[in-house]
Structure 1
Amino acid sequence: PHWDEDRYDLVQTIELGSAEKMGKFCRAIQAASPVDSFVAPVPGEMPGYQVPVIMAAGTFIQGASLELSADGPVEPPYIVYYQGGLSVQHGMLAIAAALAAISS
């Protein structure tokens, strides 16, 4: 959907345009997470992918679709799949931190 349209999916795609911005975005999401906020995500190999994948998920339950996470294959057009947040406020704080990180 266009940026100002209503959204109904749990997962949103965010095209960042560079590997550097993708890394900054994911590190900021991880830093804003309630679990493992001290961890710095780095791209790594993952079965089924031909390129490195970066994953940020400071979650209580691994793979939980409602908890805050951001991930994606590190290749053009450098899309991050962003989802979740246990509350609206947490999601807003995390995305604000991620936007600040890629703007600097």
Structure 2
Amino acid sequence: MAMTKKQPERGPMSGLERLSLRVSSMINHPVAQIQRWVTIHRLDTDGNREWGEVMGLLTETDGIGMTFNDDESVTLKWEAGTDEDRPIEVMAEEPAPF
């Protein structure tokens, strides 16, 4: 009988993890990537410490412009990446042997 690895028990997500995941998914959304901007709205569940920490990290990130709106939302804008930032497509000369 095969032994299975047991995944460690994980508690509920912290407020910081939840907010970071939400902001990351908003930035990486295909529409946001095409338009190169996104507005992040602060939710009632976003604590002051968590919101401040995530906004601080975004402020320190090169290439992101931030506009703090009157309704406590934040609009992020960025420029299109250069060709050096894009993944390189490699064409195989021979088909794989498998």
Whether TM exceeds 0.5 here: the answer is: no
**Radius of gyration: which is bigger?**
2
Which structure's relative contact order is higher, taking Cα pairs within 8 Å and 6+ residues apart?
1
TM-score (norm: length of structure 1): 0.30
Query: Where is the helix percentage greater, Structure 1 or Structure 2?
Result: 2
TM-score (norm: length of structure 2): 0.31
